[in-house]
Amino acid sequence: MRQLNDLERHAGLAGSTGPVGSAGVPSRLAAVGAVVLAAVFALAVQVPAQAQAPLRVAPESRQQVTLSFAPVAAKTSPAVVNVFALKSAPRGSGHPFFEDPFFRRFFGDRGFGVPRERVQRSLGSGVIVDPRGLVVTNHHVVEGADEVKVVLADKRELAAEIVLRDPRTDLAVLRVNEGAPFQAIDLADSDALQVGDLVLAIGNPFGVGQTVTQGIVSALARSQVGISDFQSFIQTDAAINPGNSGGALVDMSGRLVGINTAIFTRSGGSHGIGFAIPSNMVRVVVESAKSGGKQVKRPWLGARLQTVTADIAESLGLPRPAGALVADVPNGTPAAKAGLKRGDVVVAIDGQMVDDPDGLGFRLATRPVGGRAVLTVRRGANEVPLPIGLEAPPEGSSRDAVAIRSRSPFAGATVAALDAALADELHLPFGGEGVVVVVKVEPGSPADNLGFQPGDAVLQVNGRDIRSPQELERIFRAGARLWRLVVQREGRAIQMVLPG
């Protein structure tokens, strides 16, 4: 099976064991089919019949011999830092008495000399993007951290605070409060990148210290990677390894074109396929942090989209299988206000081509709320421009989430009522009110151990239809000897019976 691993999950958290697939914890609710990835490489070379051999001459000066990326590395390396995140985690004693408050009162939190907590350490990289001390890194590097430190290129170690988390892009912004001003790096326009451009990856692989590797841009707008909600990654063959997460991908002008975030690997090491978050998405997150926001507000479309396959393209008369097919347009959404209709195919936004729904989502996410954009829509045999207002998702019932704490299969899960905005966020169909979905699962919780994941819809519990998060909480609080559940995932209803 093709495996894409988050970098820090190989060598980041203490106690981690082996590669972890980027698509998340494997589902225990349904069987997962194995996918075999075969790579075939072909090289065709055509040589003109009368081609002459290249002229070979000896170099006449040191300048003709020396070819180096040292000037670019010297310019950018001081802006790349190492990030260390520390998190306290409970350590079980192995005996149920130690979990009893009565025994803990007399023996203390350490039991019979057994420590109650252990410290997990996560290692990554970061990039200084503002002289006043703003640092961008990956969200998974600092997720759940109680303490974060950064080590500068000159070996200074400084405390940092997390000022903004954005799990949907796997980005986080830190602030270092001492030592300013810092040497920062400028952000490039990642849309100007071309396949074949030279790039440098700078980070702290395996914790050995700051390292610079060189490669090219192998591909652009990579989607279907499965490591964030907005997928339009830069692919590079510059060597990226565990510890590089959050580090810089820079161009030959010394500007930041991306934040290194993941690798495609079977062994945990670099196989020459790395992925970086484009700088245009990084810019949106950084600007939100500079403005004092605690979360990033992005425009939403409100339409349900699907990929244009070859069969769909042929049936619609499209020249190629590209674009985002509109499957549904709920009333009151920006898509509906713009006049988007079911069966339309969005092929571009503001003149920039989109290959699939992920590409359209990425383009929308890099635009400011409150502005306007123009969608180019293929409708029948015609291309129609549709101006659309860039609105933030409404704060509706989906924000009134309920965390399930009662003893039940869903303990540790947070659920919410599905509305159009939440459906857009979770990539779910929206057909009206009365659907309760999982929006978050705490790692290591009963819900996590059973394989529940964000996007699962809870349809029934013990024969009762679930219409609200509060109703689900009341049922679980009442308790039962057995739980008969009906859960929907990816349009398929799954029934299960679990002990109470």
As a whole number, the mean pLDDT across the chain is 78
Q: Which of 492, 411, 497 is nearest to 455 (CA)?
A: 492
Active-site residues: which are they? 140, 170, 245
Those residues with Cβ within 8 angstroms of residue 432's Cβ, 6 or more apart along the chain or in another chain? none
Q: What is the 3-class SS of 216-236, one letter each residue? A: EEEEEEECCCCCCCCCCEEEE
Residue 113 has pLDDT above 60, yes or no: no
Whether 112 has a pLDDT exceeding 60, the answer reads no
The continuous run of DSSP H or E covering 312 comes out as helix 310-316
The better pLDDT of the pair 490, 473 is held by 473
With beta carbons less than 8 A apart as the criterion, state whether 277 and 256 touch: no
User: pLDDT class for 135, splitting at 50, 70, 90?
Assistant: very high
pLDDT at 386: 94
- The 3-state DSSP composition of the chain as helix, strand, coil percent (nearest 5) reads 20, 35, 50
Which sign does the torsion angle of CA 56, 61, 65, 69 carry? negative
pLDDT at 305: 86
How does residue 101 score in pLDDT terms, banded at 50, 70 and 90? very low
**Annotation: binding site for substrate:** 140, 170, 243-245
Contact, 469 vs 435, CB < 8 A? no
pLDDT greater than 90 at residue 129: yes
pLDDT, residue 40, reads 29
**Which residues, at least 6 apart from 236, have a Cβ–Cβ distance to it below 8 Å?**
199, 201, 215, 216, 217, 218, 249, 274, 275, 276
Over residues 468-494, the mean pLDDT reads 86
Residue 93 pLDDT? 43
Q: How does residue 64 score in pLDDT terms, banded at 50, 70 and 90?
A: low
pLDDT-derived band at 55 (thresholds 50, 70, 90) equals: low
Strand 147-151 and strand 413-417: the pairing is unpaired
**Spatial contact of 185 and 256, defined as CB atoms under 8 Å apart:** yes
**Least confident among 49-63, 94-108, 348-362:** 94-108
| Residue-level pLDDT at 224 | 65
pTM exceeds 0.85, yes or no: no
Q: What CA–CA distance (Å, rounded) separates 53 from 199?
A: 30
Domains defined along the chain, listed by start = 1-41+78-296 (2.40.10.120), 304-389 (2.30.42.10), 397-499 (2.30.42.10)
Confidence of residue 394 (pLDDT cuts 50, 70, 90): confident
pLDDT number for residue 14:
32
| Secondary structure (H, E, C), 469-484 | HHHHHHHHHHCCCEEE
176-221 residue pLDDT tens: 988 879 999 999 999 899 999 999 999 988 878 888 999 999 988 8
- Max intra-chain CA distance, the chain: 92
Least confident of 28-32, 35-39, 103-107, 405-409: 35-39
Beta-bridge partner residues of 495: 486
DSSP 393: P
Which amino acid is present at 184?
Answer: A
Residue 70 binned pLDDT confidence (cut-offs 50, 70, 90)? confident
Vertex 361 angle, CA 239 and 318, to 5° = 100
